[in-house]
Chain A
Amino acid sequence: MGTVVVDVMPKQEILDPQGQAVVGALRRLNLSQFTDVRQGKRFTLEVAGDVTDEVLAAAREAAETLLSNPVIEDVVSVRDADAAAAGQEDAS
């Protein structure tokens, strides 16, 4: 039983109204050291067996075709939840 984690963020140059709302609220709470906030989303995809390269490739396809809107969002990582973070990140 394995888990693939997919992180999706609004493209850097696209306005993120949710993030803007959060940064505004932080200021009102006097947590003003945070100058900007961007809010994305995380998906966890469960598979019956191990997270193989094949599974990761399929997860990436899912991420790019369904889980994200390629016009305004980027898939920032597709990775095995159990693997050590370093070296396993498939950032693109």
Chain B
Amino acid sequence: MSNLPAYKCDTVDIASQDPQAEQPWAELGLKSDEYQQIREILDRRPTSAELAMYSVMWSEHCSYKSSKVHLRQFGDKTTDEMKEKLLVGIGENAGVVDIGDGWAVTFKIESHNHPSYIEPHQGAATGIGGIVRDIMSMGARPLAVMDPLRFGALDHPDTARVLPGIVSGVGTYGNSLGLPNIGGEINFDSCYQGNPLVNALCVGSMRTEDIHLANATGVGNLIVLFGSKTGGDGIGGVSVLASETFDSTGPAKRPAVQVGDPFAEKVLIECCLDLYAADVVAGIQDLGGAGLSCATSELASNGDGGMQIHLDRVPLRDPSLSPEEILMSESQERMMAVVEPGKLEAFMEIAAKWDVEASVLGEVTDGENLEVFWGDDLLVQVPPRSVAHDGPVYQRPLERPAYLDDLQADGTAHLNRPRTGDDLARTVLDLIASPNMCDASWVTDQYDRYVRGNTAQAMPDDAGVVRVDEETGRGVALSTDCNPRFTKLDPYAGSQLALAEAYRNVAVAGAAPLAVSDCLNFGSPEDPGVMWQFSEAVTALADGCAVLGIPVTGGNVSFYNQTGDIAIHPTPVVAVLGVLDDVAKRNRSGWAHAQDAIYLLGETRDELDGSAWAEVAHSHLGGLPPTVDLAAEQTLASAILAATDQGLITSAHDLSDGGLAAGLAESVLRHGVGASVDLSPVASRDGVDAFVALLSESTARAIASISASDAEAFEAVLSDKGQAFARIGTTGGDHLKVEGQFTLAIEDLRSAHTGVIESAMSH
């Protein structure tokens, strides 16, 4: 004890003897009734370390206190059939699904929105680091990352501050780790001006028998902290305690941001995989938000309950840290393992081989409490479930926002539509030059998309495809989607449209959709209108997944995404994962050959409300989003998968934002192969004009190109599946020609489509 810094530790004894001491619970974000609840659980006032733990673990971010009652639906609506492929469901660090041949895949999407606004580069970088550790903690080798990003207006000065930093952070961390970035989204809308969204997804693989779980069982098993040293990173709000518990000469206010070290994480990945292979880990947990508080309480809560931890054994980067700060530090690149005493030596040898520092902090006990010591002082003595799982649960008031009726009544019917072929051509050029539709390679070129050599496709294709088994080619496809304009107009329909789009993207790539992870980004849960949007979104996704027969395996909720009182559009980003038995069979998304037949699959209705056209041509958002038809999505997926299986498809591309016009332009630009298209079969069958045929965003549609010699076989497959289709043209030439409307040279399309983001960033 004598060699420990002499903090005036607030111990359990002191707390019992001095029950009336004033505590800064309000400054730590706790409500008065929450503080009372803690006092009741403990039957005394909490110590300052306990107060710090509860305040962070009961925060919205860690406890899901406002969302829990709604998220329950994901479990409740998962049928036994959907569970068949689900090896690990919601509640663990990440869900795990069976992809066949003894392979399991784990994937999860999370948000790192607020840190990325404060410090774009490091915030986004540590977002990647955090999600990768979640995947590692399931026993998997991380395979790839994806990052859906949303920013304010492209031409706003603050976008030029946050965008380059966020993109470089994602790139630096992921590239240094040697993980390919296989996709994501980049989306601009002024609703994100003061609150950009940085979501990050990681996918990893393992053999099914190698799954690891986060629980601390077995009395006497050791708790080992390994990885980087602990510093004062990300303590933020807890510094209010620091100023209370030690004198004013203590350290300056701690920063709320963390700086990561991808090379340390890379070593940690390899070290973990070595530890798993040697079978020396009984339980494993990554350290993320709330650091040791979260890791110890979750491990104990998931296990037998009892655990003793000695904070003075934590290796420190900054020796001035107080015990409370050590408990709360969010220093990056750390993991916690439960190790049987007989395996400790082997564990330590492996850690030493990788130059990873490892320290035994304590052990699993037969008690019921998590006990945390500083020297001989007992600072924390709490039932771990009360911290990690049994926090407050709120049934927040919901109210359909009053503005919605007017917004939904304000459709696009009154907006001027292009009347001539020339007008249409200009519209198409404006569309593909708009921030949300333009070429994103300025962003994606900063990411290594092919490192490790297993990437079958990445941006700009519809879905990222990565090989899992190098022998057989078995692999997975992933797509993340959300059109926040649709969710603003109708959160229920919009959320299902996000699900449908991700599902369609995966299927169009030739993969059978299998599972879902979601990152639900919303405004303040204390706003009944936002809470209503959230409730609608969760219900919609749970209902939609039940119809499609694919379970939600996990995800993340991010609330308080707003500037002042103005919430962002509801942004439930949906990631769908699908399986290919051989990634070589995937469908590419652009035209590579001349003289292929072009097919439009699905039916087109006059659905322009909330469309890219309404935004680009009229800056208009109103009306109702396109009709959701999940049965039609399933038919489309089964038709494409059947045709893919027979090797009939030379390319396929999902239609969503910007409709057929965007799909045609992107297919032309992919490899510089033009096309001649005749819309009359669509116009006469669906009763729409050329403008609607090109710019409507009706769902359950895709375009495919087929060698002329396979056209008959392809049509037979489509007819067999009951899939509506129209043969609309032929690939080839240097132009995109729409019969009777316009002819655009490929170079004109390309010059409109490219350079948009770089020129905005170069000011």
Contact = CB atoms under 8 A, between A and B. Distances in A.
Contacts of B259: 10, 14-17, 72
11 contacts: A11-B255, A12-B251, A12-B318, A13-B231, A13-B235, A13-B251, A13-B255, A15-B231, A15-B332, A71-B255, A72-B119
A16 B235 CA distance: 17
A8 to B, nearest CB: 14
B254 interface: yes
A68 interface: no
Interface string A1-28: 0000000001111111100110010000
Nearest to B251: A13
A71 B232 contact: no
Nearest to A14: B259
Interface stretch (B260-268, B393-401, B566-574): B260-268
User: What 4 A-B pairs have minimum CB-CB distances, sorted nearest first?
Assistant: A13-B232, A17-B261, A71-B119, A15-B259
B231 A14 contact: yes
B369 interface: no
A44 interface: no
Interface of B: 118-119, 122, 228, 231-233, 235, 251, 254-255, 257-261, 263-264, 317-318, 331-332, 355
Given A21-B263, A71-B119, A72-B119, A13 B318 contact: yes
Contacts, number: 51
B261 A15 contact: yes
Interface centre among A13, A16, A21, A72 (most CB of B within 10 A): A13
Nearest to A15: B259
A28 to B, nearest CB: 10
Contact of B233 (A14, A17, A24, A69): A14
Interface in A27-41: none
A32 B119 CA distance: 34
B123 to A, nearest CB: 9
Contacts of B355: 24
Contacts of B260: 15, 17
A17 B263 contact: yes
Contact of B118 (A21, A24, A71): A71
Interface of A: 10-17, 20-21, 24, 69, 71-72
Nearest to A69: B119
A72 B263 contact: no
Nearest to B122: A72
A72 B231 CA distance: 13
A20 B232 CA distance: 16
Contacts of A14: 231-233, 255, 257-259
B255 A15 contact: no
Contacts of A16: 259
A17 B266 CA distance: 13
Given A14-B232, A20-B264, A72-B119, 15 more contacts: A10-B259, A11-B255, A13-B231, A14-B258, A15-B228, A15-B259, A15-B260, A15-B332, A17-B259, A17-B261, A17-B263, A71-B122, A71-B255, A72-B122, A72-B257
Nearest to B262: A17
Contacts of A20: 261, 264
B233 A13 contact: yes
A15 B317 contact: yes
B263 to A, nearest CB: 7
Contacts of A69: 119
A38 B318 CA distance: 12
A27 B228 CA distance: 17
Contacts of A72: 119, 122, 255, 257, 259
Contacts of A24: 355
A14 B355 CA distance: 21
A71 B255 CA distance: 7
Nearest to A11: B255
A72 B355 CA distance: 27
Nearest to A27: B355
Contacts of B251: 12-13
Nearest to A74: B252
Contacts of B318: 12-13
Contacts of B263: 17, 21
Contacts of B332: 15
